[in-house]
Amino acid sequence: MFSSIYNALCALPSDRSGVGAKQTADLSRAQFLRLVGTGLVASGVGLSASGMFAQTSGDTAPVTDLDKVYDAWQDRFNAGDLDGLVALYAEDVTYINPDGVELLGNAATRADYQGLLALKPKIEIGDRIHVVHNDIALSTNHWTLELTDPDGKLQNLTGGGIEVLRHQGDAGWRFIIDDASRSAS
């Protein structure tokens, strides 16, 4: 299966701007990430009992300053800290992944991130905007993501997110809705 994914990625034209460019496949960023993640899982990469899929730092301290939530999310994501990343989500979170699939709860959110973190991506989150009402915040951002595809080529992806967070007392700010399928322009 991994070789099939590899071959499909190699068949993508490197320059689609020219006349008559061969178009064997048009992959969105979400399809690309899902495809590579599936290939890694199918090939057994990161499936050891020692937790090679995602590392954990043990730093799951609550984030009480709204302006620091994206910093914590970015740091934990870039470190491959699945436990720390999921700790930023409410137990009953509604997470809409980049494919537009609505997932309910921490366990489904964890499973969705697990494959992506196996790719050891690096993200930079910018253009952060928060609109706050009492203990609820609507937040938007734009991001750039770097990861290496199975062929060893560096991929640069861009996108954004729209999230709703709730301040949960001592638990700090947590995502209650995270829509990774669209971006607020």
Question: What are the b/e assignments for 106-139, b being 16+ CB within 10 Å?
Answer: bebbbebbbbbbbbebebebeebebeeeeeebeb
Task: Give me the pLDDT at residue 182, please.
Answer: 76
Task: Give me the pLDDT at residue 20, please.
Answer: 41
Task: Give me the pLDDT at residue 181, please.
Answer: 83
Terminal alpha carbon distance of the chain? 37
User: Quick check: is 76 in a domain?
Assistant: yes
Task: Give me the pLDDT at residue 88, please.
Answer: 97
User: Quick check: is 20 in a domain?
Assistant: no
Give the pTM. Answer: 0.70
Q: What's the burial of 150, exposed, middle or buried (CB within 10 Å: 0-12/13-18/19+)?
A: buried
In whole angstroms, how large is the CA radius of gyration of the chain? 17
User: Quick check: is 159 in a domain?
Assistant: yes
Q: Which residues contact 67 (CB under 8 A, 6 or more apart)?
A: 128, 130
User: Quick check: is 49 in a domain?
Assistant: yes
| Spatial contact of 55 and 81, defined as CB atoms under 8 Å apart | yes
User: Quick check: is 184 in a domain?
Assistant: no
Task: Give me the pLDDT at residue 46, please.
Answer: 42
User: Quick check: is 155 in a domain?
Assistant: yes
The CATH number assigned to the domain holding 47 equals 3.10.450.50
Q: In the chain, which residues have pLDDT < 50?
A: 1-25, 40-57
Q: 89 is in which domain, residue-wise?
A: 2-9+26-179
Task: Give me the pLDDT at residue 21, please.
Answer: 39
Alpha helices by DSSP H, the chain: 2-10, 29-43, 69-78, 82-86, 106-117
Task: Give me the pLDDT at residue 119, please.
Answer: 86
Nearest-5° angle of CA 90, CA 94, CA 97? 120
Task: Give me the pLDDT at residue 33, please.
Answer: 56
Domain count, the chain: 1
User: Quick check: is 19 in a domain?
Assistant: no
| Spatial contact of 91 and 106, defined as CB atoms under 8 Å apart | yes
Q: How many CB atoms lie within 10 A of CB 29?
A: 14
User: Quick check: is 59 in a domain?
Assistant: yes
